[in-house]
Structure 1
Amino acid sequence: MTGRTDTPRHEEFAVNAERPTGPTRGIVHSADGTPIAWSRAGAGPDLVMVHCVGVSRATTPQPTLPAELARHFTVWTYDRRGKGESGTADTYDVQREIEDLEAVIGLTSGPATVYGFSSGATLALIAAESGAPIHRLALLEPPLFAAPDPDREFLTEGERQLAEGPRSLHEWFQIHVVGVPDEVLAELPPVADETLRDAASILHELAFLPGTPAERFRSVSRPTLIVASDSTAPEIHGWGRELEEQLPDARLEILPGEWHGVDDATLTAAIGRFVDGAHSPPAFA
């Protein structure tokens, strides 16, 4: 499935149809002064991407998705704090990450759709819950860790793994937190040095993921698309169904894909239909 290059029929797509002017990359300072590195590509409605755990714009497992989305959207990508070219702070608070996202949204002409993948999707949900100026949410396989961690046992174990080295933390997170199947692990390429340099940021996810049951997000009234692969883990389908039930304006789409992923063209088409507001016939086909 590929996106058409003609202009979609709805006025909302035409509003930002002219290619934006100005720099295509830069630094925006978050509310606490932390520098957040960003990039912009394409033309169309604004869409901000929130990456998953432990990766930057350079190391994301979705390296070609921004270019595919940029055929139809003005795509804003950024390095979450503690990763890539962005700065960090001495202590972590998820509220600072929300402020980082708000700073990037502030660069757009608005209204902005926010797309998040995996834990980045959960972070986008948390930001929407807190009142961030998000117009729509497009979420690819957000994990929901219902049980809280009041004694910080989850985070403490992550810190212990990090003390043994960034590779130890990365492997522990992949196996024991994400639950990557053995057959998928066997096919993954070696972890790049650049990814290992950002491994300490994995602790951020260990701080905000616990205590995120679907019912927590019942107040999130933004139109929300939840996407899952037909080949992903059953619990991810379950989390998607729970969110669809709890959010007042959400729908779940199960699309052809692989474990924890959907190809760029299929995902872009789904997001395009969602933003366009069309069900049949779609502007993206």
Structure 2
Amino acid sequence: MARVISRDGTPIVYERFGSGPAVVLMGGGLDDGTENAPVAQELAGDFTAVNYARRGRAGSGDVQPYALEREIEDLAALIDEVGGPVQLFGASSGGALALEAAAAGLSIGRIAVFDVPYAVGDPAVQAWQAYVGHLRAALAEGRREEALRLFMRLAGASDQDIAAAEDSSMWPPLLELAHTLAYDAACLGDGPPPADRFATITRPTLVLTGAGIDPHMAGLQSDFFSQAADAIVACVTRTERRIVDVREHTVNAKTLAPVLTDFFRP
């Protein structure tokens, strides 16, 4: 693992795969970079794939206070290190961060996002904003387990799924990342994509969703991610919308990598 120092002194760790034009991969909620690693390996035949751990995750630092602007500065430092312009791939809330970075004017070529969980419509927005309030309270009081439960409920997990997760070996590592749920919430803002800000994005943008809802998120509306994708397309000017043949919300490298290769190839 290599590292770069962000503007506020936070070390950000990353791995490089392959050679060629640079593609930076950005993970989503409760991910320390692990989920995108197989995608980076698949892209390595055509690109320099750079997979990093966002601040507060894995070996990356977590200088306080947090702000969305600090995460954008983290990416800017990484782009300076590998040489821009870079292509971006963001999964879930990492897709929201990728779009925010593009709107902030970073040295970016093309952008691809997958299953960005923006809230669209009054009920979804109200549920999102209630979640953010409860999440902040839980984390302020050090109740990390409750923060995880809140997130899983919002994401459509059943009580049985949550109980099974608590009894599994994955629960302690998730607790280590629970505080970063507030960082993902900051990336997603008030719920819907910020139309005025995203209207300034001029780079070609590929907006991807799967063919259906992940069974572990069965409590969500069947078109939840499609509505979010359509909302992105409505405010970002140069978009391409595609549906890929997956149902899982976690990134499927074998399915997504060829789509990304075609989109990012010069």
TM-score norm. by structure 2 comes to 0.83
**Which string of whole-angstrom CA distances, capped at 9 and with x for unpartnered residues, describes residues 222-277 of structure 1?**
11011110013412111112222321111110010013245212211111111136
Query: Identity of aligned pairs, percent?
Result: 28
2:153 aligned to 175, 192, 199, which one?
Answer: 175
2:42 aligned to 54, 58, 68, which one?
Answer: 68
Change (3 A) 1:41 1:63: closer
Correspondence list, 1:102-251, <5 A = 102-145=76-119, 154-162=131-139, 163=141, 165-176=143-154, 178-180=155-157, 190-211=169-190, 213-214=192-193, 215-216=195-196, 217-232=198-213, 233-251=222-240
Larger Rg: 1
How far did residue 69 of structure 1 move?
1.9
Q: Which segments of 5 or more consecutive residues in structure 1 lack a partner in the other structure?
A: 1-24, 278-285
- What SS is found at the alignment partner of 1:221? coil
| 8 Å CA contact 2:89, 2:111 repeated in 1 | yes
Structure 1 vs Structure 2 CA RMSD: 2.5
Alignment of 1:26 with 2:2, yes or no, is yes
Change (3 A) 1:38 1:61: closer
- What SS is found at the alignment partner of 2:69? helix
Write the distance in 2 (CA, Å) between the matches of 1:28 and 1:103. 7
| 8 Å CA contact 1:225, 1:250 repeated in 2 | yes
How far did residue 206 of structure 1 move?
2.3
| 8 Å CA contact 2:93, 2:187 repeated in 1 | no
| 8 Å CA contact 1:174, 1:180 repeated in 2 | yes
* Map of 1:273 onto structure 2: 262
How far did residue 43 of structure 1 move?
1.6
| 8 Å CA contact 2:36, 2:251 repeated in 1 | no
Which structure has greater helix proportion?
Answer: 2
Write the distance in 2 (CA, Å) between the matches of 1:170 and 1:49. 24
Count of residue pairs brought into register by the alignment:
248
Alignment of 1:46 with 2:27, yes or no, is no
Change (3 A) 1:30 1:239: same
Q: Which segments of 5 or more consecutive residues in structure 2 lack a partner in the other structure?
A: 214-221
**Partner AA of 1:245 in structure 2:** A
* Map of 1:21 onto structure 2: none
| 8 Å CA contact 2:131, 2:150 repeated in 1 | no
How far did residue 111 of structure 1 move?
2.4
How far did residue 180 of structure 1 move?
3.7
| 8 Å CA contact 1:144, 1:212 repeated in 2 | yes
TM-score norm. by structure 1 comes to 0.78
